[in-house]
Structure 1
Amino acid sequence: MDDRAGAPGPSAGTLHRLERASGAIATQAVARMDEQLSWFRTMPADQRSWVMLVAQAGIASLVEWCRNPDRPPRLTGEVFGAAPRELVRAVPLKQTVDLVKVVVEVLDDHVREVAEPGDADTLRLAVLVFSREVAFATAHVYATFAEDRGAWDARLEALVVDALVRGERSEELPGRAAALGWAVATPVTVLVGAAPSDRDAHGAARRAARTMRSEALVGVHAEQLVVVLGGAEDLGTAADRVAEEFGPGPVVVGPVVEGLARAPESAAAALAGLRAAPAWPGAPRPVAADALLPERALDGDPLARLALEERVALTLQAAGGELLETVGAVLASGGNLEASARALFVHPNTVRYRLKRAAELTGFWATDPRGGWTLQVALALSRLGGERSLWQ
């Protein structure tokens, strides 16, 4: 509602004088900005000129509004349309409010100079009401920009996550992520699992990552929630926290890799682990993709088969044939060390020593149910390995 309804506006003579003085007022406003606002002095010349254009357009719009009080002011286009959209990106909302405040103050200082006798209070009231309209228009401009930027960011983030899921190893990935504010050049990891249906998956995962001081890229791909984490001092702890925001079912954490350019490797391992996770009903949540190597290998993941062969079979062979033989004997005996020692014609302590050495090399204990299962799958796959088989 117009606060001037039913009240006469400034006279035509006052508006004419204000229009003629608009250039000088705008110039004085910019000079005062330069004097009072330290950040304004450091702005590039082109941005300062845009501010000058906006100030002149604002005064011209004030004159036009006073001449046609029944016409609602179109300040978004009339005032802020004088400058390109880049100005909204370069000048934060708080600084824009400071600029508007300076222009209004300079206008108020010149009211008595440009107003005809007896017209000063009327013009001052018009300036006051108009400044309120400008404040609303400013908020509208920044809100619209934020919505547009948010929609663009969401599309760009979806493209980045989709590229990771598809295994696209591109040097453009870090650049695309940088456009989203991703400034992480440190190790990253990828989490995958079911997207929650009862809350905003993107917002919940991003807030959880923020509580752990971690950067996050979030996307939903075919009902799967994909989260890229980086920047945290402890990515494992951050992954545990973010995993709480996934939907029901397993959550798999890919291996930590150096930088976003290699994130597709982590994503590929995590997705392979998610496909194979149902084969391990008792898996922790979240579970590391490497902990699912035997299930992934059985599911046909060539990278998992290669990793098991290198970490288990080839490692044990390189350490000496007795380690490989001892591990095989313990697995065949169901973990019975005495029976294994009799089969190998050695003392049980020798078996224990060899198993300890094998665990140090591979990370798996043959007497541990999970470790024994992993070793058994690895050695079985090695027996089927063709030319590279250790058992030919």
Structure 2
Amino acid sequence: MRSGMMRMIPEIDLSSSQKKALVDLACDMIRLKTVASNEAAIVEIIKNIFDGANIRRHIIEPEQGRASIIGFIGSKRPRLMLAAHTDTVAPGSGWKTDPFKPVIRNGRLYGRGSVDDKGPLASLIAAALILKQYEAKLRGSLVIAALADEESGSKLGLGYMFNSELWRSIKPDYAVVADTAHNMHAIDIAEKGVLRISVRCIGKAAHGASPQKGVNAINAMAELITLLEKHRMRFKKHTLLSPPTISTGMINGGSAPNMVADACEATLDIRYLPSQKPSGITREIKQLCLRVQKKRGCSFTLSKTLEMKPTETNKDSSLIKCLTKAAEVVAGIKPRLIGLSGATDAKRLILAGVPAIGFGPGDEDAAHAANESVDIKELYEFARVCVLTGFELLL
């Protein structure tokens, strides 16, 4: 350990057997297809690990097969949560190997979930097993969470836990969410807000042979989308977050190919900054709708389907300081602070009143991509960073 970097805490490296167990666990989880389903199979594996190490645990399963598991080490405060998710996105095309058959090649682990989020989860489990050995000495406690349903919004995972009696008894003081990648060179402390708006356009039906007698809702929606693409929303710059965006994610309209479409509906996905308010964004979109209405004789209605506020953790928090020091000690890295356009469980934790950050191993562009992979050495180092962060906060 580099002198002067951290206070005197135990020197930790992973043994050969601990490294093997970490990789074996990651491979076992990759083999299980958990695309918006079957997280309970991973929970069963982790349950057996926790039971073998005498780690107290609780399982929640709001729907059959959609389970999460939470382990507990110690019972005092402060309380640190280490969290990762067990579900993945679908593999998609372009793979050179079977995405659900892990492959180790040139020091990298290949497979769906290797970086998002099963490899990092295996590192968190390895860190928890080490911290368990120091349980009697901890002045605080650790919560280790393997969560379902993150890729689909966390309703059956973290969101469900927020509404349970369990959450009220285990709410942490800090949280590290292993779902950011950037090869541990960045700490996610800010995330844009998410606003989804359903836009419905009503036109006038007519025979397809006489389109001039109708008002085509699809054409009107196309014009609105073109205006939205060119529109620059009103906002103040943020030091960590890029400008806000509007994306048309879904569209549906018309009832027959030989009819002028009398209705069309589109869903807008908007990522906005702390200086903006959903009401103001909605007003800006309505103004564009009015321009199209006056020109085409149609009508628009807007309805909000999702809202998640922008979030930011204090850059001077003790969690960030401890984790930064740990990364320097373990890997010679001084992570920079960043903001994300996407929404992770760190956002959900912050909205629930928990100072949370995103941090983890792996290449930023590997998640959700074909031939997803992670450097195995980074998984080892990430486990050690989590151990040292735990020591610094809890020992």
Bigger proportion of residues as strand: 2
Which bracket does the TM-score occupy, shorter chain normalised? under 0.3
Structure having the higher Rg: 1
Greater relative contact order (Cα 8 A, min sep 6): structure 1 or 2? Answer: 2
What TM-score comes out, normalization by structure 2 length? 0.23
